[in-house]
Amino acid sequence: MNWKRLAIVFGLGVPLIAVLAYGFTRDPREIPSPLIGRPAPPFTVQLFDGKELSLADLRGKVVFLNFWASWCPPCRAEARMLEASWKDHQGQDVVFLGINMQDREAAAREFLREFGITYLNGIDAGSRIAIGYGVWGLPETFFIDPDGRITYKHIGGLDGPEVIHAKLDEARQGRLSGREGKGDYRSVQ
Amino acid sequence: MAVPWLAGRGGPRRLALGGASMLGQLVLVTVAALALIWALVTADFSLQYVANNSSLRTPLYYRVTGLWAALEGSLLLWEWMLVAFAGLAVWQQRARHRELMPWLMAVFSGVSAFFLGVLAFASPPFERLWPVPLDGRGLNPLLEDVDMFTHPPMLYAGFVALTVPYAFAMAALITGRLDEGWIATTRRWTIGGWLFLTLGNIFGGWWSYHVLGWGGFWAWDPVENASFLPWLPATAFLHSVQIQERRGMLKVWNVSLIIVTFALTIFGTFLTRSGVLSSVHAFSSGPVGGLFLGFLALVLLGSFALVALRADRLRSQPEIDSMVSRESTFLLNNVVLAAVTFTIVLGTIFPLVAEAVTGVKLSVGAPYFSRVTVPLFVALLFLMGVGPLIAWRKASADNLRRNFLWPAVLSVVVAVALAVLGVRDLWPLLALTLSAFVLLTMIHDTARAVAARRAIAGEGVLAALGSLLRRNQRRYGGFVVHLGIVLMVLGITGSMNFSQEHSATVASGETVGLGRFTLRFEGLRRMQRPTHERVEADFRVFNDAQELGVLSPALKFFPARQSPVGRAVLRMSLKEDLYLILSGFSEIKSGQATVKVMVRPMVNWVWIGGGVLVLGTLLVIWPFRRAAREA
Amino acid sequence: MTTARSSRRWALSAVVALLWPLLLGATTAERELEVRMLEVASGLRCPVCQNLSVAESSSELAQEMRALILDELRAGKSPEEIRAYFVSKYGQWILLSPTARGFGLLVWVLPGLGAVAGLGGAAFALRRWARRGSRFAPAPAGAEDLARVHDLVVADALPARLSAEEAREIEGLRELEFDHRAGKLSDQDYGELRALYEAKAAATLAAAAAERVRAAARAAEEAEAAPAPAPAPARPAPRRWRWAAAAVFLVVFGAAIGFLLPQAVRVREEGGSITGGMLTGSEAPVSAAQPRDLPALLDQGRRAMEAQDLGRALTLFRVALEVDPDQVTARAYLGLVLLRGGHPDRALPEFDRALSREPSFPQALWGKGLALYETPGKTSEAIRTWEALLAQDISGKDRDHVRSLLAQARQRLERETKPAPVAPR
């Protein structure tokens, strides 16, 4: 009789504790993106040199799309590496495109000059593009295959050129990544 | 410096040594706490805790309150309160309940050992820092508020005081002495804990409203839920224990309520310190989450296993005289409170459950909680009105008619009046009408009691009221508590349903209007403060054509923080608050400001209600007379 | 939270209207739109704040989302469509109240079910208890006991010797009488209940009195007998064993859950950082080093750093510091690696430690300046540090570099007096 009651107590209590323990494996701040494998949301962005660029124009190429801001420390941390990686892939069927958001134009230009960045960069006024891509932390990087499909998303600073290289390759072949990548270093503003 | 803990840890568990060990713990923990305060006050940055939570510019007030500015210090404060309360409770009861004593001390020591263990091994407050920095990092700017002295300690005091009834319940369960004696002696502790918990929550709301600057006082955030949750079973217990006192029934239920209350305090601490759920509240979490989870498992499973094993002895032969009686309304009140508790726990952990089961991440936030709990709270309000008018033991249809006729009729009149005035939505209309109903029944009941008293003793009205209060402290104190809650309901209903808000970007000289207010923007000012720099935007406020003065919401820039901290300002009145938030500004010269203006009706009644509630609680527990059998 | 419709007309006095004709620009239609926007926004969770809605948050992203919702509403989109748009971008996560479909239905249904089950259970229990109560009929009490009960009920204070149970019965009767006078009990009910409770009280009193007599007799007996034995709990030993075993089990269980479970399932790195990834990802484990290896370690570390292999550099310098914690060069380079990895906050103490050994160590001064420069609001400190570096004996090329850094920092210091329009939280 007592054992039956005990069984009830443990039957209710243990799952509760288990669920709470499960919480340790999750990062509550993370927002998994539903966009991987879907067509990349189209946009037109005003580049820093004044020209306009539409994502549709880049169809047929692999697009490396990076959201950043000059005030974001992890963006600074990865900036040099991104530029170096761009130098490596330049001339192939790859386009690097940086989207600056929630920033002042002067500060953003200063950032580009400081890190000597040569790949395309544009300003997302009002963060409309960023919202379209479900951006919630900076930096965030999307890889888009030649058919205009998002194959991979990386949140936080990219760890090294190898990841970029590998993911560009996958995008070229249109292969989807099962899960998004996480650099632990990121700023959420 | 870790010596006090290690020394205090292995407390002997038996009676003779138990008292001495508890005293020893108290002394040692007190020394430790004072040492930390001293280090904070003298800015001894060789301690990591001090370096992280104060700086040379930190004023004395915030240095002292720095004791609970972060995890390690908070735990030390908790432990300090725990040993103090435990010592007090044991000392109070030293002559009575001898047979409970050893186990009582064992439970206290067990809980205390857990906290000491956490302090000694997982989050030591006396960690050294080398090299010693010249200056500390300073207090978290959000904590820089006068309320720092009220909200956190009150909440902790509430949590800790509720350990006392838990320890008694455990001791009674273990020894098998389940007569009601201990319930009566811990009643004051429960009410005290409940009072502190209530105050802690109200001050928390006040703080959120005045400092956090998003315009509300309750966001149904996991951390807020965590501090609110223990309040619910504690409230249920305070009601249902009255049935046990009268009839000796519902023992298992009451013991369960005590256990749940205590478990929820641990659950709350786990939630705030583990980082399992995200929250607006900037809490330092450390490696203690797992420990608190283990402790929670121990408390929940251990205590309820004990209840299960003891259920045979707890079994009473419950009987009541009539289905329509005060007992019934209290029981229903308990059911509804339990439902609210269940709903909030469910909603709080549901994101985890959903992710574990389906892998999809979802959110459960304010809109959910409002929609689901409001009907339950309205039901509670209804019971609050009905309860006092139904006699203990039995009520007949004839009495019901006699007692409820006038309050009910007047409430309907109020409802119609409200509908005519424009309150057409169901829930606010119900909430306001039932608030009126509760008030009316209380007035009705008191009037009748005064009349009865006058008939018995031939006293005047005031004298009759006084002697009623004296003879029946708990009952009329309870009425005052209910009055406070009704006032809070008014405030919450008003601010939830009739708020207006408007955002605008204005240049100097331009105006923003909302409701009957008009605000003229008069420019930005920059100023230097000891700990930060701030930019204030001046708004001259007009009510129709009448000038009401200047309000200056600000953004504060702290050197060590990336984003500014907003400082909202508000103009309070009994009818409504005007609440201004500076959301941003352009460079000082062009002088544009983006401002969010809110008009939040009746918010002040929440705080006033809180005050009335405290008064009522004091009325209940104040020792006006020493009842012969309680002394 | 629903915000009331601001249907109120603009009731501005003529004076105000004259002073600020601009006011009339905001039309009622615009306000209606704002109210509808807030309705949508209050159901969406702000992605960058922890737990606020888009309507409440003052973060920049939330402001931009509000603007977006406003535009969409203007373009004639329905609130449902706008919500769907946000869900397609951020997932179900963004809805503050889960949709009542699939698993999410549970969270809506369970509270209702729970409440209904609870009320049903309570009603059932009450009926049973009431039936049991009406069956109960106490034995008729003696007139003498009844008289005592009467006396106690009307007495002003209760005698202290009454037991809790007796006092309860008397209080109950007093309460009954009071409720009757206050009009809460009909005469008939009062009569019945009073008879019932008086009989009960009389029985209780009689039983208690008998118990007291017996207790007194027992006490007298015991006083006669030899010195009373210590009132040891007369429990059989095995029971205690059971308790002890249960206690041990529970403690072990709790400890196991507390320590093992979170660790077993933990995937997040503590303090999560880029370098955490580097550490786990670094190849070529460095074996236990000796003091004589120091120069080689430092050299290798420097080369790894130049080769942008920060992870390896970090490991090497850490190993060097394990050999000799006071190695200034290793300390300074560790700081530089951390700085390069984007951790000015963690780099700073390393530089400070190096400088506490050797206050003019150029690499440490240079790095400290950089770290301070990366920390908001510390620009002036960075300038001071670099000025100290210039006072040292360094090469002309380095000198130029530091000068340019200084110029940059001074420029920024000037700019910093005008903060950007960033929004909090």
Give pLDDT tens digits for B160-192.
Answer: 999 999 999 998 888 877 766 777 777 888 999
Question: Per-residue confidence at C152, pLDDT binned at 50, 70, 90?
Answer: confident
pLDDT digits (tens, 9 = 90+) for B593-624: 888 898 888 888 999 999 999 999 988 887 76
Which is higher by pLDDT, C227 or B26? Answer: B26
Question: Per-residue confidence at C59, pLDDT binned at 50, 70, 90?
Answer: confident
Give the whole-angstrom CA distance, residue B322 versus residue B325: 6
Q: Which residues of A touch B290 (CB under 8 A)?
A: 24
Residue A65 bridge partners (DSSP)? A97, A142
Q: Are residues C296 and C411 in the same domain?
A: yes
- Work out the minimum CA distance from C175 to partner chain A, whole angstroms: 38
How high is the pLDDT of residue C27? 60
Residue A62 bridge partners (DSSP)? A94
Three-state DSSP state, C109: helix
- Work out the minimum CA distance from B308 to partner chain A, whole angstroms: 5
Query: Looking at C40, C61, C94, which one is the last position of a domain?
Result: C94
Q: Please provide the average confidence, as pLDDT, over all residues in chain A.
A: 86
Residue A187 bridge partners (DSSP)? A138
Q: Give the mutation candidate from A9, A30, A127 for the B interface (greatest B CB count, under 10 A).
A: A9
Kindly state whether B293 is in contact with chain A, defined as any CB-CB distance less than 8 angstroms. Answer: yes
Q: Which residues of A touch B296 (CB under 8 A)?
A: 17, 20
> Quick check: is C114 in a domain?
no
> Quick check: is C99 in a domain?
no
How high is the pLDDT of residue C274? 26
User: Does residue A7 surpass a pLDDT of 60?
Assistant: yes
Q: Are residues C311 and C374 in the same domain?
A: yes
Q: Using the 8-state DSSP alphabet, how is residue C45 labeled?
A: B
How much is the ipTM here? Answer: 0.90
Considering A42-46, C258-262, C287-291, the range whose residues carry the highest mean pLDDT is A42-46
Give the whole-angstrom CA distance, residue B487 versus residue B497: 16
Give the whole-angstrom CA distance, residue B386 versus residue C184: 12
CB-neighbour burial class of residue A71 (10 A; exposed 0-12, middle 13-18, buried 19+): buried
> Quick check: is C322 in a domain?
yes
With residue B133 as reference, give the H or E element that holds it. none
Contact (Cβ atoms closer than 8 angstroms) between residue B370 and residue B320: no
> Quick check: is C340 in a domain?
yes
Residue with tokens 């008191």: B446
Closest Cβ opposite residue A184 in set C272, C374, C420: C272
Which is higher by pLDDT, C315 or B198? Answer: B198
Mean pLDDT lowest for which of A72-76, B626-630, C326-330?
A: B626-630
Q: Which chains pack against A, by 3+ Cβ pairs within 8 A?
A: B, C
Contact (Cβ atoms closer than 8 angstroms) between residue B169 and residue B85: no
Please give the C-alpha separations between residue C287 and each of B182, B499, C8, C284, C297, in angstroms, as whole numbers.
Answer: 64, 67, 78, 9, 11
Mean pLDDT lowest for which of A10-19, A110-119, B14-23, B96-105?
A: B14-23
Average pLDDT over residues B244-265: 88
How high is the pLDDT of residue C22? 39
Task: Report the half-sphere exposure of C265 (CA within 13 A, side-chain side).
Answer: 18
Average pLDDT over residues C378-396: 81
Mean pLDDT lowest for which of C83-97, C236-250, C329-343?
A: C236-250
Helix spans in C141-186 (H): 143-154, 164-181
Positive or negative, the Cα torsion across B243, B247, B249, B254? positive
Three-state DSSP state, B538: strand
- The chain B residue lying nearest C18, using CA atoms, is B545
Contact (Cβ atoms closer than 8 angstroms) between residue C382 and residue C369: yes
User: Does residue B559 surpass a pLDDT of 80?
Assistant: no
Considering B58-72, B423-437, C225-239, the range whose residues carry the highest mean pLDDT is B423-437
Q: What token pair was written down for C422?
A: 């960033």
Q: What token pair was written down for B429?
A: 């209309």
Q: Are residues C90 and C140 in the same domain?
A: no
How high is the pLDDT of residue C238? 44
How high is the pLDDT of residue C283? 29
Q: What token pair was written down for C90?
A: 């951020």
Question: Per-residue confidence at B1, pLDDT binned at 50, 70, 90?
Answer: very low
Please give the C-alpha separations between residue B501 and each of A58, B267, B570, C39, C55, in angstroms, as whole numbers.
Answer: 43, 36, 13, 11, 10
pLDDT > 70: percent of chain B = 92
Kindly state whether A24 is in contact with chain B, defined as any CB-CB distance less than 8 angstroms. Answer: yes
Q: Which residues of C touch A132 (CB under 8 A)?
A: 89
Mean pLDDT lowest for which of B484-498, C66-80, C171-185?
A: C171-185
Mean pLDDT lowest for which of B346-360, C163-177, C237-251?
A: C237-251
- The chain B residue lying nearest A25, using CA atoms, is B276
> Quick check: is C118 in a domain?
no
Give the whole-angstrom CA distance, residue B418 versus residue B424: 8
Distance of CA B206 to the CA centre of its chain: 11
Mean pLDDT lowest for which of A155-164, B142-151, C230-239?
A: C230-239
Instruction: Give the CA dihedral B15, B16, B17, B23, nearest 10 degrees.
Output: 90
How high is the pLDDT of residue C265? 36
Question: Which pairing describes strands A94-101 and A62-68: parallel, antiparallel, or unpaired?
Answer: parallel
How high is the pLDDT of residue C419? 38
Closest Cβ opposite residue A77 in set C61, C88, C341: C341
Contact (Cβ atoms closer than 8 angstroms) between residue B539 and residue B528: no
Q: Using the 8-state DSSP alphabet, how is residue A149 labeled?
A: B
Helix spans in C266-293 (H): 274-281
- The chain B residue lying nearest C49, using CA atoms, is B280
Q: Give the mutation candidate from A20, A30, A70 for the B interface (greatest B CB count, under 10 A).
A: A20
Kindly state whether B114 is in contact with chain A, defined as any CB-CB distance less than 8 angstroms. Answer: no
pLDDT digits (tens, 9 = 90+) for A137-187: 888 999 999 988 999 999 888 878 888 888 888 888 888 876 777 765 555
- The chain A residue lying nearest B310, using CA atoms, is A2
Q: Which residues of B touch C352 (CB under 8 A)?
A: 131, 133
- Work out the minimum CA distance from C261 to partner chain A, whole angstroms: 7
Which is higher by pLDDT, B193 or C286? Answer: B193
- Please list, in sequence order, all residues whose beta carbon lies within 8 angstroms of the beta carbon of residue B76, skipping any fewer than 6 positions away: B29, B32, B33, B36, B67, B119, B125
Q: Do C89 and A183 touch (CB under 8 A)?
A: no
Contact (Cβ atoms closer than 8 angstroms) between residue C299 and residue C313: no
How big is the CA angle at B33 (ends B28 and B39), to the nearest 5 degrees? Answer: 125
Contact (Cβ atoms closer than 8 angstroms) between residue B588 and residue B536: no
- Work out the minimum CA distance from B453 to partner chain A, whole angstroms: 50
Q: Are residues C147 and C87 in the same domain?
A: no
pLDDT digits (tens, 9 = 90+) for C318-371: 878 877 777 888 888 888 888 877 777 888 888 888 888 787 888 888 888 888
Give the right CATH number for A39-182 from 3.90.1150.10, 3.40.30.10, 3.40.390.10, 1.10.10.10: 3.40.30.10
Q: Are residues C296 and C412 in the same domain?
A: yes
> Quick check: is C390 in a domain?
yes
Positive or negative, the Cα torsion across B198, B199, B202, B204? negative
- What letters, b where the CB count within 10 A reaches 16 and e where it falls short, cover A6-17? beebbeebeebb
Q: Which residues of B touch C68 (CB under 8 A)?
A: none
How high is the pLDDT of residue C48? 83
Size of interface A-B (CB pairs under 8 A): 69
How high is the pLDDT of residue C277? 26
- Work out the minimum CA distance from A21 to partner chain C, whole angstroms: 6
How high is the pLDDT of residue C287? 39
CATH code of the domain covering residue C28: 1.10.8.640
Q: How many domains does chain C have?
A: 3
Three-state DSSP state, B515: coil
Three-state DSSP state, B196: helix
pLDDT digits (tens, 9 = 90+) for C269-285: 222 222 222 222 222 33
Average pLDDT over residues C397-415: 80
Question: Per-residue confidence at A99, pLDDT binned at 50, 70, 90?
Answer: very high
Q: Which residues of A touch B351 (CB under 8 A)?
A: 28
Q: Do B501 and C3 touch (CB under 8 A)?
A: yes
Please give the C-alpha separations between residue B480 and each of A102, B144, C114, in angstroms, as whole numbers.
Answer: 52, 34, 31
Question: Per-residue confidence at A97, pLDDT binned at 50, 70, 90?
Answer: very high
Q: What token pair was written down for C31?
A: 């306000």
Q: Do B305 and C246 touch (CB under 8 A)?
A: yes
Three-state DSSP state, B172: helix
Give me the residue spans of the domains in chain A.
39-182
Contact (Cβ atoms closer than 8 angstroms) between residue B340 and residue B406: no
With residue B574 as reference, give the H or E element that holds it. none
Peptide bond into B318 cis (omega under 30): no
Q: Do C47 and A32 touch (CB under 8 A)?
A: no
Instruction: From B367, B368, B370, B382, select the one nearest B336 (Cα to Cα).
Output: B382
Q: Which residues of C touch B392 (CB under 8 A)?
A: 172, 175-176, 179
Q: Which residues of B touch C261 (CB under 8 A)?
A: 290, 293-294
With residue B47 as reference, give the H or E element that holds it. none
Give the whole-angstrom CA distance, residue A2 versus residue A181: 50
Q: Are residues C302 and C379 in the same domain?
A: yes
Considering B324-333, B555-564, C10-19, C113-122, the range whose residues carry the highest mean pLDDT is C113-122
How high is the pLDDT of residue B430? 92
Q: Are residues C315 and C370 in the same domain?
A: yes
Contact (Cβ atoms closer than 8 angstroms) between residue B479 and residue B388: yes
Instruction: From C67, C28, C69, C6, select the one nearest B499 (Cα to Cα).
Output: C6
DSSP E strands, A23-132: 44-47, 52-54, 62-68, 94-101, 120-124
Q: Which residues of A touch B304 (CB under 8 A)?
A: 9, 13
- Work out the minimum CA distance from C165 to partner chain B, whole angstroms: 9
How high is the pLDDT of residue C24? 40
Q: Which residues of C touch A21 (CB under 8 A)?
A: 257, 261-262, 265
CB-neighbour burial class of residue B422 (10 A; exposed 0-12, middle 13-18, buried 19+): exposed
Contact (Cβ atoms closer than 8 angstroms) between residue C354 and residue C331: yes
Residue range(s) defining the domain that contains residue C57: 18-94
How high is the pLDDT of residue B3? 34
Give the whole-angstrom CA distance, residue B591 versus residue C52: 29
How high is the pLDDT of residue B564? 74
Closest Cβ opposite residue A183 in set C64, C267, C274: C274
Q: Please provide the average confidence, as pLDDT, over all residues in chain B.
A: 83
How big is the CA angle at B87 (ends B85 and B88), to the nearest 5 degrees? Answer: 65
How high is the pLDDT of residue C281? 28
Considering A134-138, B198-202, B310-314, C275-279, the range whose residues carry the highest mean pLDDT is B198-202
Kindly state whether A71 is in contact with chain B, defined as any CB-CB distance less than 8 angstroms. Answer: yes
